[in-house]
Amino acid sequence: MPIDRPGVYEIPAEDYHADNFLPEPSLSASIAKLLVTPGATPMHARHECPRLNPDYEPKELEKFDLGAAAHALLLDPGKFAIIDAADWRTKAAKDERDGARMRGLIPILTHQWESITQMVLAAREQLDAHQDGPMFTDGTPEATIIWLEDGVYCRARLDWRPKKSRIFPDYKSTAASADPDLWSRTMYGMGADMQAAFYLRGIRALNLCDRPEFRFVVQENFKPYALSVIGLMPGALELADRQVARAIEIWRECRRANRWPGYPTRTCWIDVPEYHEARIMAREIREHEETQAGSRRISDGV
């Protein structure tokens, strides 16, 4: 489905991730992170772009992911096909699985379904009791938004577009803790702060909501499936938005010049970090003290 103008669209997940519906390659939040995050470069960003990397291969994950399945069930219960089989080893199970995928459904084994429904039920109960009220209940799941920033096509796939609420929730599952203080470290490590700023830019650009707010709904993927709702303070959002603006600028320049640099092309000289030097000195002092103590024992005839 070719698209040549900003707006809100219903696009299959496969097409969205393939980035095959716009006149030119578009910038997503995940690519934006690679352009400005330490440990990545424009070279890495280009490698992850399906339309810029001729050797790009989509990631196919056969392993069951409880969090990803709960995410899908929470947003759209009609997406699933429950397969009555113990595993995918038999031909019959494989045929049912492949048939479900061809119909656009997510195949799930019967014993997996119980865990998914328990996790989603726990999420619903906790969100119903939350001060921001129920989420993922009145709106549209997985809407794709397209907008232009100074000639750069940007795209985002909203978990949920609410009909009345100003809160745009985004569901995250974790195998660690959903405690807000602890998950904040995970948030910055995965660049989720930039995701929030990026999505809000798109929401505002399309005038989808007056004074939109973004929330992360973070749920543990183990019993009792505890959940927290996390938002970013204005200062954190402002800093993340500056990062997004920088990523858009880098993307524009790389596209214009068709040049995607990696790490520096000069030798980088590294000095001893203070923590490393302190650790070595502490060990040397300890070893010296132990040697001195041993010498005293010998001189005392012990």
pLDDT tens per residue, range 241-252: 999 999 999 999
Segment 255-275 shows an average pLDDT of 95
Q: What CA–CA distance (Å, rounded) separates 37 from 208?
A: 29
Q: What CA–CA distance (Å, rounded) separates 146 from 123?
A: 30
Query: What is the per-residue pLDDT across 118-145, written as a single tens digit (0 to 9) for each?
Result: 999 999 999 999 999 899 999 999 999 9
* DSSP SS3 for 255: helix
pLDDT band at 61, cuts 50/70/90? Answer: low
Q: What CA–CA distance (Å, rounded) separates 83 from 100?
A: 9
Query: What is the per-residue pLDDT across 164-213, written as a single tens digit (0 to 9) for each?
Result: 999 999 999 999 999 999 999 999 999 999 999 999 999 999 999 999 99
Residue 146 has pLDDT above 70, yes or no: yes
For the chain, give the percent of residues with pLDDT over 90. Answer: 73
Q: What CA–CA distance (Å, rounded) separates 290 from 282?
A: 12
Q: What is the DSSP string of 18-86?
A: HT-SSSS--B-HHHHHHHHSTT--HHHHHHT-TTT-TT-------S--HHHHHHHHHH-GGGEEEE-SS
Segment 268-285 shows an average pLDDT of 93
Residue 227 has pLDDT above 60, yes or no: yes
Place of tokens 């080893």: 89
CB atoms within 10 A of CB 52: 18
Segment 257-284 shows an average pLDDT of 94
Residue 60 has pLDDT above 70, yes or no: no
Average pLDDT, the chain: 92
The single-letter DSSP state of residue 87 is S
Segment 2-14 shows an average pLDDT of 91
Closest CA to 174 of 182, 162, 166, 164: 182
Residue 86's pLDDT is what? 86
Q: Which pTM does this prediction carry?
A: 0.86
Residue 103's pLDDT is what? 84
Higher pLDDT, 115 or 198: 198
Q: Pairing mode, if any, of strands 167-174 and 213-220?
A: parallel
CA–CA distances in Å: residue 256 to residues 125, 196, 252, 259, 260:
50, 27, 6, 8, 10
Place of tokens 């302190």: 278
Higher pLDDT, 57 or 119: 119
Per-state percent for the chain, helix, strand, coil, to nearest 5: 45, 20, 35
Query: What is the per-residue pLDDT across 37-52, written as a single tens digit (0 to 9) for each?
Result: 999 999 999 999 999 9
Are 251 and 32 a contacting pair, CB within 8 Å?
yes
Report the range out of 11-20, 22-31, 69-78, 93-102 with the highest average pLDDT. Answer: 22-31
Q: What are phi and psi of 192, to 5 degrees?
A: -65, -25
Report the range out of 86-95, 178-187, 288-297 with the highest average pLDDT. Answer: 178-187
Segment 64-72 shows an average pLDDT of 83
Q: Which two tokens stand for residue 98?
A: 């492949």
CB atoms within 10 A of CB 34: 22
Residue 299's pLDDT is what? 67
Give the up-direction half-sphere exposure of residue 140: CA atoms within 13 A in the CB hemisphere: 13
Place of tokens 């084994």: 109
Q: What are phi and psi of 56, to 5 degrees?
A: -60, 135
